[in-house]
């Protein structure tokens, strides 16, 4: 990967992007503009990558450096991209190493803009961004938040994780182009009274990893999102609170989906009656009677037509036995059985100790996965199971 750093105050954050890319196993070469070196030094990136970091067209007089760097790259990512570098790239200017390399590159390009709000919203910048998008560049951000000079607004560099997700997406196979994926994510909260609820520890990280992977592969993604859960950019979000609301949202969209991945940790029980006022501690311990919530996955299994149906199960013991029973009883194509209740795996963690059980019998044994790795494997399976070619190619990136 070739990472370009241009001269904005957010240049120091490029070091975090490099670290994340290296952790993911990428070979990274960094090119800095002269202005970028006023914010962060080339030696920083050399130390992080183990490779020389370049700043000038004239550093290697015996070779055409910008041509070599462009041809060696599988993907180019610019972090941050200033208004100046956006203009250069849009208009084909090449007066330094980074802009010359970008002009030579034929691989996917990911651009993470960062600048003050006025510069980002200026018609010239907006026009340049439109040109770059029309040529296939993936624009990540900018986000809204604190800016230089004590201001706040749009123009803040996207989070490093979001930039890395975009790089993964640029390299991912577009085997889900035009396919419609419906993903559930996060917990449900079943109210006891206006301030209390029955719920679980899910944060929605697994659902977010699945959605990001699906978008990167070209899918049209809808996420039915429980409270407090995270979600990546580029998806349609339907926010819900309760299991009943999640059921209604999923069933309303089920017929149009090519595949459904039920990653949400739906609460198994809800109070039979909801108090309309806050229950007071000094009134004594209230009796809360529970009843089962709707079994959304079982209902989808009964209603399914040609949709691919993937479920998730959170278990503390007898993972394989419980998983095989659920795979069969819910009429699933694939079930991911997660071990929960241990530190560092499952709810809120960045990894899952999980096994994949398939109706075909092509299982994956229990092991530790990063959530993004697990998402990629799940969608590999979904892609392989989907029949024919997508009918809607309007989402082709």
Angle in degrees, CA 102, 158, 184, rounded to 5: 115
d(CA 180, CA 191): 32
Catalytic residues: 200
Cα three-residue angle 164-202-13, rounded to 5 degrees: 25
Residue 339 Cα distances to 64, 319, 348, angstroms:
53, 7, 13
Q: Phi, psi at residue 154, to the nearest 5°? A: -75, 145
What is the C-alpha separation between 294 and 282, in angstroms, rounded? Answer: 33
Query: Which residues, in sequence order, are CB contacts of 329 under 8 Å at separation 6+?
Result: 298, 301
Cα angle 81, 396, 381; round to 5: 105
- Compute the distance between CA of residue 361 and CA of residue 366 in angstroms, rounded to an integer: 15
> Taking a C-beta distance cutoff of 8 angstroms, is the pair 261, 182 a contact?
yes
Angle at 359 between CA 355 and CA 363, to 5 degrees: 30
Tell me if 207 sits within 8 A of 224, measured CB to CB. Answer: no
Task: Measure the CA angle with vertex 162, ends 136 and 364; round to 5°.
Answer: 100
Cβ atoms of 113 and 90 within 8 Å: the answer is no
- Consecutive H or E run containing 282: none
């Amino acid at each position: 990967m070739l990472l370009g750093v241009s001269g904005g105050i957010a240049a120091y954050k490029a070091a975090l992007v490099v670290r994340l890319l290296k952790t993911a196993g990428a070979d990274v070469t960094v090119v800095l503009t002269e202005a970028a070196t006023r914010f962060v030094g080339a030696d920083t990136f050399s130390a992080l990558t183990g490779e020389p970091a370049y700043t000038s067209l004239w550093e290697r007089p015996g070779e055409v450096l910008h041509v070599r760097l462009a041809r060696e790259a599988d993907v180019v990512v610019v972090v941050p991209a200033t208004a100046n570098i956006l203009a250069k790239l849009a208009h084909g200017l090449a007066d330094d190493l980074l802009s010359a390399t970008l002009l030579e590159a034929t691989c996917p390009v990911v651009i993470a803009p960062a600048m003050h709000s006025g510069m980002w919203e200026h018609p010239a910048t907006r026009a340049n961004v439109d040109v770059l998008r029309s040529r296939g560049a993936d624009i990540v951000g900018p986000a809204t938040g604190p800016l230089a000079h004590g201001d706040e607004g749009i123009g803040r560099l996207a989070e490093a994780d979001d930039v890395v997700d975009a790089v993964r997406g640029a390299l991912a196979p577009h085997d889900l182009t035009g396919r419609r994926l419906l993903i559930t994510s996060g917990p449900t909260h079943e109210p006891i009274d206006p301030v209390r609820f029955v719920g679980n520890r899910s944060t929605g990280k697994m659902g977010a990893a699945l959605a990001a992977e699906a978008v990167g592969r070209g899918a049209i993604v809808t996420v039915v999102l429980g409270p407090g859960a995270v979600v990546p950019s580029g998806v349609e979000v339907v926010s819900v609170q309760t299991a009943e609301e999640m059921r209604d949202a999923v069933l309303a969209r089920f017929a149009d989906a090519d595949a459904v991945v039920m990653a949400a940790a739906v609460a198994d029980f809800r109070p039979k009656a909801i108090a309309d006022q806050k229950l007071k501690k000094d009134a004594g311990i209230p009796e809360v009677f529970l009843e089962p919530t709707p079994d959304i996955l079982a209902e989808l299994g009964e209603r399914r037509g040609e949709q691919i149906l993937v479920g998730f199960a959170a278990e503390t013991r007898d993972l394989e036995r419980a998983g095989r029973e659920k795979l069969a009883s819910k009429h699933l194509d694939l079930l991911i059985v997660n071990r929960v209740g241990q530190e560092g795996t499952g709810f809120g963690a960045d990894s899952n100790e999980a096994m994949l059980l398939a109706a075909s019998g092509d299982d994956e044994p229990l092991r530790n996965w990063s959530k993004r790795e697990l998402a990629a494997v799940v969608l590999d399976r979904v892609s392989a199971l989907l029949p024919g070619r997508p009918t809607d190619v309007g989402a082709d990136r």
